[in-house]
Amino acid sequence: MTPIRYELIKTCKQTGARLGILHTPHGSFETPMFMPVGTLATVKTLSPEELKEMGAGVILSNTYHLWLRPGHEIVKEAGGLHSFMNWDRGILTDSGGFQVFSLSEFRRIEEEGVYFRNHLNGDKLFLSPEKAMEIQNALGSDIMMAFDECPPYPATYEYMKRSVERTSRWAERCLKAHQRPNEQGLFGIVQGGEFGDLRKQSAQDLVSLDFPGYAVGGLSVGEPKEVMNRVLEFTTPLLPANKPRYLMGVGSPDSLIDGAIRGIDMFDCVLPTRIGRNGTVMTSEGRVVIKNAKYARDFTPLDPNCDCYTCRNYTRAYIRHLIKCDETFGIRLTSYHNVYFLIKLMEQVRQAIREDHLGDFREQFFEQYGFNKPNAKNF
């Protein structure tokens, strides 16, 4: 029996969005869900206890970075990632492919894998489907990702076609190299850029391999939001309805809602902690750059409609002071709020699906947040 199962609970009559349950070896979690990113086996500045307090179910860690530091062998000796980082809920590890293609200036793609340089010290490295499986098996995540090629945006049709075909061949090799299929679920990644026929080819190739779940990759890489939504509209119907669908690297509030409407169950992104470190927060009334001078004497919470630890205890003026002084506690407070905001947003999305009014919720949220205004920010 597969260690990862998806249970469909309800479909929103207004939008077609799915309410479901993702069953993993470390718990069952309602979807659609936002998964905080813990690249190096930690969600930056936040403790596992705080993440549980917020209601996080599955978090991400990064195969490439953990391979370099501390090394997958050390994590395995520690009893796997769950034991190593003291997290007893779900963990998803990506394959490392995105980092190989985004962080390394020097890389050479061959059929056997990718030759590239360590972004930390310049050492020559080689990552293949087999190596990606070896590392993730050692890490012991609940969900592993197949090793794929992450093509640049934009890319020509010819390049994308070759890339899709290679990704399909690599997916087959990943399945063969996976050593713990009864303990760890392996997801395939659908590529193809904005080309409908290539997305269809990629989906058909991967569905024929019968993965326990499927990701849509190659989005949120610089394309307009309209392109992302259009790609999702013709891609998600190609994926099995009885398996989870994961949109990789997407975390802005508008994209979470629009993705759920288009049939996505799982999302992840570094956005909440990354912008939090820069003093930017997401609130029910829109985006707030807390470093701005106008908040120096603002003794109200970050978000008057939020009940997170940060908003219950601290003011905009105090948090601005901390951020301006480079105090770590300020980064903790903004990061806590942002991650909480997205987790609670998805709770609201799930409730709207239950009540068959996600379309109405979208309109109300977009209006309140400011997405309907001309030149609105993505977050």
Q: Report the b/e string of 150-184 with b at 16+ CB within 10 A.
A: bbeeebeeeebbebbbbbbebbbbbbebbeeeeeb
The greatest distance separating any two alpha carbons of the chain, rounded to the nearest whole angstrom, comes to 60
Tell whether omega for the bond before 70 is within 30 degrees of 0, i.e. cis: yes
Is 268 an active-site residue? yes
- How far apart are the C-alpha atoms of 62 and 26, rounded to whole Å? 18
- How far apart are the C-alpha atoms of 276 and 158, rounded to whole Å? 39
Catalytic-role residue among 94, 142, 254, 265: 94
Q: Are 192 and 176 in contact (CB under 8 A)?
A: no
- How far apart are the C-alpha atoms of 44 and 55, rounded to whole Å? 17
Q: 236 burial class (0-12, 13-18, 19+ CB within 10 angstroms)?
A: buried
- Tell me which residue of 1, 171, 25 sits closest to 92, measured CA to CA: 25
Catalytic-role residue among 142, 148, 258, 268: 268
Question: Residue 375: which residues within 8 A CB-CB, separation 6 or more?
Answer: none
Q: 49 burial class (0-12, 13-18, 19+ CB within 10 angstroms)?
A: exposed
Q: What residues are annotated to the active site? A: 94, 268
